[in-house]
Structure 1
Amino acid sequence: MRISEVPLAILRLQYRVARIPLQIVEEQVVARLDSESSARLIYERSLGALDVTVGNLLGSPDIAQRGEALTNRSEALLLAAELDAQADAGVAEAGQNFKARREAASQQEQNAQATKEKTVQESRQQAEARKREAAQNAAERAAALGERADKTANQRTAAVENAKRTEHAHISAAEKTVTKAAQAKIEDAQDKRSEAASIRNDADRVSELAEVEKEKRQQARAAESN
């Protein structure tokens, strides 16, 4: 070791000593938290960033690599958690929108049915009124007017039925549009969950590789010391 490297070696040793309390907190407190909890991921990311900074400043690749692996893992899991949250929010929103629009379509159908019944009733009342008026004027005219009134009532009933069929067609089209939009959001949410799962798997592999490298370095140090 060169004399010029001695101060850096001392600083690296001091950093390792100073990091022991942080390591104890990580092992005794943070490790008990859920592996994807926000508090644990933020702590690990901060600790990893500290290792990267100190490792680069002190010329210690192993410290920097350890910090980089910890940072990458925590950031990947934070991203996965965020994607999961977005997926859940998308599914919830799609469900709420679908329910609201379905209820609106159902209300429109009920209104159309009520309008049809009211129109039919009014038409029949008008027809009966005309019949009574025709009977009062003259028996012959009453028969003619009654037939005309029946014909008018039938025409109005046919018009109402046609309007009902048109309204049902509009409602059915609206329900299909709502269902298609909701399905699209659900599929998008499923894609986000798949992406989150892939990112989480990558993060686990990075963590495993970091552990393997750590064990190799420890074995190498042990071999050197022997």
Structure 2
Amino acid sequence: MKITDIPFSILRTQYRIARIPLTLFERGVLDRMEPEAPARVFYRRAVGALDAAAGSALRDTDLEERGLAEVQRAAELGEAARLDEVAERRVQQADAQLREKRRQAEAAPQEARTKAQRKIADARTQADATKQAATENAAARTSAAKKRIDDAADQKIKAAQKAKTNAQNRSRAAEKSVTNAAKAELDDAADKRRAANGARAHADRLDELGDAEKEKRQAARARKP
């Protein structure tokens, strides 16, 4: 770890500690709500944006990606909830139209009652068809939105895992390079040490030969008359 990264590491730890109450609130309160509840969607979007901003500021890629994924998921759920509301309004409008036609039929003269009853039956059939279509359409869009959320989350998880693996590989490569350099320096020092020992032994041998030659000359001079 670089020295410049230490303050960010401390800040990341402090942020995780400060986020503990939010985590407890999520587990104790939000998890009891429906996934598409407006309060839960609003909270997820706000906290996701907070995590994304904190991750960017603190150089925490994982935190930033989780925050962005949470914001996207909240947006998708909000859209799904909006579609459900639209479908519900259409159902209510169809029911209101059916009640109005029934009221008109009940107030119509006897000679027009048969015609009005036919209109009521047609209106009921149309209302049922509209309600069914709106429900199926909302369910299909909700399912598609949730699938997009899951796919996006899987892609971000895979990207984060790949980035983590690449970082580990670079770390191992750097460690291996340092190890090889250190080993080369040790081998070079050993070679120099052996060379020095050899030179020292050669010098000692020369000294021994010189002493022997000196003793030989002295002995020769001593034997001369």
**After TM superposition, is the score higher than 0.5?**
yes
Query: CA, structure 1 residues 101+18, in 2 after alignment: closer, same or farther (shift >3 Å)?
Result: same
The Cα shift of 1:46 comes to 1.6
Distance 2:78 2:58 in 1: 29
Equivalent residue of 1:35, what SS?
coil
Q: Deviations over 1:52-94 (max 9, x none)?
A: 1111222222111011111222221222122112212211210
- For structure 1, list consecutive stretches of 5 or more residues without a partner in the other structure: 114-163
What aligned pairs does 1:5-154 form with structure 2 within 5 A after superposition? 5-108=5-108, 111-113=109-111
Q: Deviations over 1:7-40 (max 9, x none)?
A: 3333222212222222232234333333333333
Distance 2:37 2:104 in 1: 40
Paired residue total: 169
TM-score, normalisation: structure 2: 0.57
Q: Deviations over 1:103-126 (max 9, x none)?
A: 314533xx153xxxxxxxxxxxxx
Equivalent residue of 1:70, what SS?
helix
The Cα shift of 1:190 comes to 3.3
Identity of aligned residues (%): 28
2:139 maps to which of 169, 193, 200: 193
TM-score, normalisation: structure 1: 0.57
Distance 1:91 1:66 in 2: 37
**CA contact under 8 A between 1:56 and 1:64: conserved in structure 2?**
yes
Query: CA, structure 1 residues 211+61, in 2 after alignment: closer, same or farther (shift >3 Å)?
Result: closer
Aligned CA-pair RMSD: 3.7
- For structure 2, list consecutive stretches of 5 or more residues without a partner in the other structure: 172-225
Equivalent residue of 1:36, what SS?
coil
**CA contact under 8 A between 1:86 and 1:189: conserved in structure 2?**
no
For CA contacts below 8 A with separation 6 or more, give which structure has more relative contact order: 1
Query: CA, structure 1 residues 188+23, in 2 after alignment: closer, same or farther (shift >3 Å)?
Result: closer
Which has the larger Rg?
Answer: 2
Equivalent residue of 1:25, what SS?
helix
Equivalent residue of 1:59, what SS?
coil
The Cα shift of 1:175 comes to 5.6
